[in-house]
Structures are given as C-alpha cells and as structure tokens.
Structure 1
Amino acid sequence: MRWLRVGGVLLAAMTALTACGNGDVPCPANPGPIGVFVADTMPKEGSGTVMAARGGRIAYCEGFGLADRAAGVRASCDTVYDVMSITKQFTAAAILKLEMMGKLRVTDPIGRHLRQVPADKRPITLHQLLTHTAGLAEGLGDDYDVLSRDDFLTRALASKPQSAPGTAFHYSNMGYGLLAAIVEEVSGLGYENFLAERLFAPAGMTRTGYVLPTWEPARIAVEYDDRGAAHGRPIAHPWAQDGPYWNLRGNGGMLSTARDLLRWHRALSGTGVLSATAKRKMFSPQVRVPDSHDSYGYGWVISDTDAGRIAWHDGGNSWSLANLARSLDDDVMVFWASNHAYQRGRWNLEDLMEPLTWGVACRARTAAAPTSGGAGR
C-alpha cells in the first residue's frame, strides 16, 4: 500500500519548510546543529536516514539506528531505501521526457498508446493519469501480488470507474502503472531501462532503480513492522526478473539513496534532464487536491504558501515512511526515510513529520554555507 496525505501533519510540515526563517514560522534564534536536533527528535528505537541540502550541497546527511538489526548494520547516508510513492515523480518525468523527444503529448488519449481500450476509458488522457483525475481506482490488490504486465493492463482497463475522466481527483496507483506501460510502448524500452538511460544517467544517479543497479544487499534496509518484526528487504518480496510486479511498477517500489535523491534535486534545478517547459508542467498546480489547500502537479504535490512554493511527495507502507521536499524558490531540499516508522502503542513517525521536516529545514537554512561536498560526498 502506498498513500498520499494531503492534510494534517504532513501539510503542516511542508508549509513550514517554506515558511521557516521567513517570518511566518521563525527559526529559533540559535537552532543548533542538525544532528543534535535529529537525535533529540527521533525515537531511540527508530531507524533511517535524514538529509538536508542548500544550494545543491549537503548541509547534513546521516543515518540513525540500524538498517539491519540482525547483522548490526547501521543506517547511513548510503543506505538504500524503498522510496515508495516518491517513484511517481520519476514516471511523470519519463512522460515529459518522451514529450520533449516528440514521441507523445500529455494531451494524448491513452488509446493512442495502448491497445483495446474500452469505451469508458477512451477519453482518458495522459494528463489525467498524471494528475489522478482519470477516474481510476486506487489499485488492484497488494503491492507484491504476482501480476504480469498483460494481466495488469487487462484488469486496469476493465476496472470500474470511480468518476468520469477529468471530473474528480482520485489518487490512483493504477493510473501511474498505466503510465509506466505507456513509457514502455512509446519508447520501446523497459520502464526501468528508459528511466536509467534518459533520466538517471544524465543526472549522475547510479544508486536508483529496481534491478539495474548492482545492489549490495547489505546496503538495502530491512523493513520492520510496528511490533519490531523484520519483513525483509524490498527485493526479497515477490518480484519479476526486471523489477516489481505491476501493482507496484511505475507508482512505487523504486530503491534509492539520499545522495542519489540529491543528484535528482540538482538535476531538476537545471535543464540537463528536463527542459524549462517540461519542468513548468511538472511543478505547476495542475489540479486542486480535495480537502486541502494543495494542488497536484505531475508526480508532485504543490503547496503555494505566503513564504513560497514547495514541491513534495511522501511514500509509505505498513513498515516504512519516506518524504522528499524541495523549495522551488530558494533551493532547500529535505529528504528522510525510515525502515521502521511505527511502534505500536509508543510512536508513529507520521506524527513527527512536522517537527522533523521543519526543524531540519530551519537548521539547513541557518547553518554556515557548506564549502565542500555535494552529491558526491
């Protein structure tokens, strides 16, 4: 299960990222080091990695707790995590890249790129899939159900609509799975192969993907449930030879590291991967998210505050939680992921979204400008 939270704690955290230090939510006079703040904020039994960057350079990147308790492996800046629904921004970027290449348009109906689309799905456009307004259900089952591409397409295209295309927002992992299939149809490459060749390589990302990176299993975090029981590494669950099965393909399941996500942030700050036009589409508030003050762009939630614009997306399952946020106005980035996000009756990291994200961003803004580092450190 992968979800999107559009109100409450996470919204407050994202608003604070842009407001911090700008008068709306002032930073403490002497906020202190990021590491001390993280250690004081996170539960002692928890585990994960926190990164903050300013001006494209690392202000802080450290692990806390253990990535693998049985082996005694500590979490670090190089730990590999399942980033879950953060994957959606890669799928959206792939569609925009194909548009840059003249292979498609986001206004195309899906029948232009997929076969045997039934009448009730023919009006659906790529734009509607990208913005969760295609009227599709959330998904077809469990993340790790064995479901081939052909079976996924058959079931997705035969699924009961939640609303007429273009009329309502329904967060849909299924829709992003259809986009992944369209990437394959249009490019002639596998979904991950296209991302690796056209997005990750130009961005300098070598530790992001499903199966193409040469993973060292010890670097991949083991996930733990709310009782502390281990549920293995993501790659230990049922996967096809080329990555997760299709309930997860394109909408979640991507593995990455904090350093690689900084490389991604830096790539999106320039035009080496996506053109200025493509980025305007990605980060424009395309549709309003119900019951919130937020909008959805292409693979990102967009919060427009008095202090500036923030693009963010979270991801979660029953064990892990991750959050990536970028200020679009002053080049501050915060990423954190936990492989043990819940402890029954004791703590829930969703409740710490606001203080952790706000506090880390605040300290990154007020820290001395880094003189070295960057994605390679």
Structure 2
Amino acid sequence: MAALAVVALAACSVDGPARAPSRCDSTTETTLRAWAAAGFSGSVAIAVRGAPTCLAAYGRADDATGAPNSVDTVFSIGSVTKAFTAAAALRLVDRGALSLDTRVRSVVPEITSTVGDATVRQLMQHTSGLNGSHGADREPLGREEAIAAIAAMEPAFAPGTGYVYTNAGYTLLALIVEAVSGTGFRDFLVSNVLRLPDGDVAGGFWDGEPSAPGPRATGYLDDGRPGHRGGFPGPHWAVEGNGGLAMTTGELASWTHALFTGRIVAPASVDLIRGPGHDLGGGRSETPGWVRLEENGAVVLATAGGGGDVGHNAVVAWLPGREEVVAMASNRPELAAEELLRRLLPALAAGDPLPAPDPRPVGGGPVDPAAMGRYRLDGGGTVEVRTDGDGLVISAGGADAVAALLPPRPTTPDRELRAHEERVLALLAGRSQEGREERAAIESDLGRVTGVSPAGTVVDDGELRSYVTVEAGGRSVLAWYAVNAEGGIEGAQLPADPPSLRFVAAAGGGYRPDDPTGTGPDVTVRFEGSRLVLLGPAGTATATRAAG
C-alpha cells in the first residue's frame, strides 16, 4: 500500500458516525466536514514533503449497502491517467529509446494523415491536430482497431499550429510506448510508472487487469443512477492511455510526490513536466500530462478527470514551493472534487487556512404546495418546480427559460455561449467528420433526423454545455453537448434531462441557489400568486402558471 495510505482510517461520514477519526488537524477537519455537509462525498489526501498531513473521507461509497467512503476507497481517476501515460513516454525518453521529437509516423506508420508528422512532445501537449476521441469508453476496441480509428480521424490543424485537448492523442502516445518498449502498455505502466519508491504499486485499472485492489466507490450520475462499477472485459483501447486508471487518493498523492521529486522520471523530464509548456493564455500552460498555472503568485501543477459513465471526479495538485500535494476524489455530482479544489486552491497556494463553504441561505419559510408545477414565459419557455427535501428543484425548458434560470457568471461572456452553441449546431449538421458520425449514430438509434434547434447553453461542472432539441424518428429528444474550440465532442448525453438548479429558502423571502462554492448562477426566485419571478444579472423574467 502507498505511503500515504498506510494508516487504515475509517471514513468520517456525514451519513453516520465514523469508526475512527481522520488524520487531519482539527481546523482542517472541521472545514472539510463543513464541505461534506455542503455536498462533498469522497476522499482527500494532503501531504507535505511526502508526509501525510490530512487523510480523510466523507459520505457513502454505496447507497445500496450503506458502506462509507474511507481512505482505502478506490476511485476511477479518469483523465488524470494522462499524467501517468506522459510519465511512461518520458521513461523511454530518459533511456534514450524515444525522443521528444520522434514523429508519430516513424513508430505507427498506419497514421498517414498530417498527424503522422506530429511529435511525441506535441502529443503530450495536445498540439498534434487530433481532435476528440476515437471510441466510446466502454466500446470493445482492440489495438489494431484503435490505430485504424485514430488514422481515420480528421485533423483539426497541422501539427504544432493549434491546441485542442484530445483523448485520442494520449491513446496514440500509449501505442507508441507499447511499440517502442516492446512490452504491453499495461505491463510497462505497472513495472515502470505505477511502482512507488517503497516498492508498492499505485492502484491499477478500473476495467481489466491488473485491477486496482481495494473497495470501490459507486459513482452516482447527474440523474442519481449508479455509474459503471468496472468489470468491462475489453479490449480497452478506447481508454488506454487516456483514462483507464483507478486508485485511492493516498496512492495518487504518493505517486505525485514521487513524480515531481524525480523518483519516477529523470530530473530533466521533471523539469519538462513543470514547464512552462504550451501557452494556453491567462497564465496557464499545457505540460506533459499536467496544466501549469499560478495562484496567488505560486506555481501550481494540476490535472483532473471525471465525467463519463463512472460517476467519479478526481483531481490532484502539486505546489512545488512547499512540496505539497493535494489529491481529491468524489463519487457524487452535488460537489465534485475538482470544484472543491478550485475553491480551496487560493488558500492552499497562499498557505492560509482552508475556507469554509458559503453559508446556506436560511429563512423564507415553506413553499405553498400549490406553487409546485409548470410555469410559462412569454417567449414560450417553461419552468417546472418540484420539492426536494428542504428545498426546490427548478428545471428549465427552452432557451429563454435556461437563460433566465441559469445565467452564467460574468467570467463567461455571452459571446462564448453563442460560439459554443454554434459549434454544437454545426456538429449536428454534419459539417465535420465527427459530426457526420454523431448524426449517423443518432439516426441509427432514433430514426432520420429532421431538425435540430437550440435549447440553451449553461456552465456545468466547469464546462459549457449546449442543450438542443433533436427531431428524429417522429419525436423530439432533448440532448446536450460539450465541444472544444475545434468542435470536437468532449461530453454528450442523449436523451438528457432538462437543465435544473436546486434552491433553498433565503432570508427576506424568495429562494437562492443551494451553491456552497458561490460560483454558480446568480439568480433569485420569488412566487407571487400565480407567477414565478426570476431575478438575475440581466434583469427580471416572469413566468405565469400554466393551465392544467
């Protein structure tokens, strides 16, 4: 077991008493418990100079059994896997078996598009021209099939002339590692990258062998359904290299410390990872497997992964100034690990005490049950209101309702929302190879597509999602898509539930979003007789109770 997880501590669960205390100082523990009460369910590991300063877990790992999360709970780390794949390639660079300037074509000659001219460095920094993914996560895809799928992808730009985050690029990097090493990618990863300085192995794979040992958290999706728990027999080349690993947060923290202190790759490769890398603007840059940024004047290296059908979110940050690692993983959507770290990072970078969540709005009293139901805006959109424990869940149908209920923060300009929506509509119009393939997949499931209309764009889980109504096979289906700047699919759901927001009563009347991070939509809801009033940064929108 990894150095950070040698103490078998039980979870500090918000759903029941813990069997043993967490290994955190009292101030940090109090703050993390407050975040757990605000919705975080998962595990946290913090270490300084390789010594754990906080190991804790909260919430339930499995609703069916009531098992709590613990520091020994295993989570899928999703795209954090890319940091391990980059390290695998750099191990070969350290040995002189591979060069950062090695071109794809010289190792995988089947790649005959311009991507064949891309270098290993460009694959690591997402500047190869590959755009999007080459297969669905649980699609059985063999090595040769993966090569053929990547070879058939339409490049977004010539290598080195642009940037677009891509899963396919890291699978191609894994294929190069396998070809150059002469060893199966998984075998090479376990023997050369996952093995820690003390001889232990950091985790394993979520699907297939070698499997990550230990109890697994069940992930829960946005609609409450349990996510994929592993066991997919493969072959696994849809996720190989880009998202297949799983481990505890203690193992992830221990591995990260080993990486950045030169015990996984050579010092020159550590310097490459630390960057600066490919400039992303705003003080951020893409380095091999990581993003380099500055927070409160301190350099931070971070990487995150989640989404898909597992229902987990994982994030890890390295603060070189203090040789500190923070690793988090969550198994519920109410407060994802990535969102929690985003809120805590300024304090971590400054060495300040961790901030508590924003206090929940209180007051206002219960809502009249007669206020539940559907309301209609003048523009035709609808708002659906239902109770949820001590709060309300309000769903929006139609672009005008989405804009009123879920207005973006000022950090996301309207032009970005419009541009994202246009890219999604272009995708579903079949204006790219990926778009034509997506449209064909929809028609295979639903029937001929006769129309696609916008239904609003929101910021969710830190990404833009454009909702659309797809007319296919004689019926209307709601879907959402998240795409990158080149129009490549980064996430999608079809069919999808309407976008919604949970509200709790606010002092002085009305309802405010149940948003402990303070980063969500800035909107207030009031009920005035048969009307529902939405007050947001763009003004007031009024919906009238629908008949029937």
Which category describes the TM-score, using the shorter chain as reference length?
0.7 to 0.9
The alignment status of 1:299 with 2:289, answered yes or no, reads yes
Query: Contact 2:330–2:336 (CA<8 Å) still a contact in 1?
Result: no
2:133 is paired with a residue whose SS is: coil
The alignment status of 1:226 with 2:227, answered yes or no, reads no
Aligned to 1:264: 255
Q: Work out which structure has the larger RCO, using CA pairs closer than 8 Å and 6 or more positions apart in sequence.
A: 1
Among candidates 200, 203, 210, match of residue 208 of structure 1 = 203
Query: Contact 1:60–1:364 (CA<8 Å) still a contact in 2?
Result: no
The alignment status of 1:64 with 2:52, answered yes or no, reads no
Shift in Å at residue 90 of structure 1?
0.4
The alignment status of 1:315 with 2:309, answered yes or no, reads no
TM value normalised by structure 1: 0.80
1:142 is paired with a residue whose SS is: coil
Among candidates 117, 126, 139, match of residue 120 of structure 2 = 126
**Aligned counterparts, 1:40-55, within 5 A:** 40-43=34-37, 46-55=40-49
Comparing 150-159 and 136-145, the one that deviates more: 136-145
Q: List gaps (5 residues or longer) in structure 2.
A: 1-24, 355-548
Shift in Å at residue 221 of structure 1?
1.1
Shift in Å at residue 359 of structure 1?
5.3
Among candidates 317, 340, 343, match of residue 325 of structure 1 = 317
| 1:6-32 Cα deviation digits (max 9, x unpaired) | xxxxxxxxxxxxxxxxxxxxxxxxx96
Residues 49, 117 of structure 1: CA spacing in aligned structure 2 closer, same or farther, 3 A cutoff?
same
1:68 is paired with a residue whose SS is: coil
Query: Contact 1:334–1:357 (CA<8 Å) still a contact in 2?
Result: no
Shift in Å at residue 216 of structure 1?
4.8
Query: Contact 1:49–1:62 (CA<8 Å) still a contact in 2?
Result: yes
* Counterpart-to-counterpart distance in 1, 2:191 and 2:338: 35
Aligned to 1:83: 77
> Among the aligned pairs, what percent are the same residue?
29
Residues 104, 176 of structure 1: CA spacing in aligned structure 2 closer, same or farther, 3 A cutoff?
same
TM value normalised by structure 2: 0.56
The alignment status of 1:139 with 2:133, answered yes or no, reads yes
What RMSD over aligned residues (CA atoms) do the two structures have, in Å?
A: 2.4
Query: Contact 1:135–1:163 (CA<8 Å) still a contact in 2?
Result: yes
* Counterpart-to-counterpart distance in 1, 2:213 and 2:296: 44
Query: Contact 1:51–1:61 (CA<8 Å) still a contact in 2?
Result: yes
Shift in Å at residue 267 of structure 1?
1.1
How many residue pairs match? The answer is 325
**Aligned counterparts, 1:1-377, within 5 A:** 33-43=27-37, 46-203=40-197, 204-210=199-205, 211-213=208-210, 215-216=212-213, 219-233=215-229, 235-236=230-231, 238-240=232-234, 245-289=236-280, 292-305=282-295, 307-318=297-308, 319-342=311-334, 351-358=339-346
Higher strand share: 2
Query: Contact 1:52–1:364 (CA<8 Å) still a contact in 2?
Result: no
* Counterpart-to-counterpart distance in 2, 1:226 and 1:63: 21
1:139 is paired with a residue whose SS is: coil
For 2:271, the aligned partner's letter is: R
Q: List gaps (5 residues or longer) in structure 1.
A: 1-30, 367-377
| 1:152-200 Cα deviation digits (max 9, x unpaired) | 1111112101011100010011000000111110111111211111122
1:289 is paired with a residue whose SS is: strand
Shift in Å at residue 202 of structure 1?
4.2
Shift in Å at residue 358 of structure 1?
4.5
When Rg is computed on C-alpha atoms for both structures, the one with the higher figure is 2
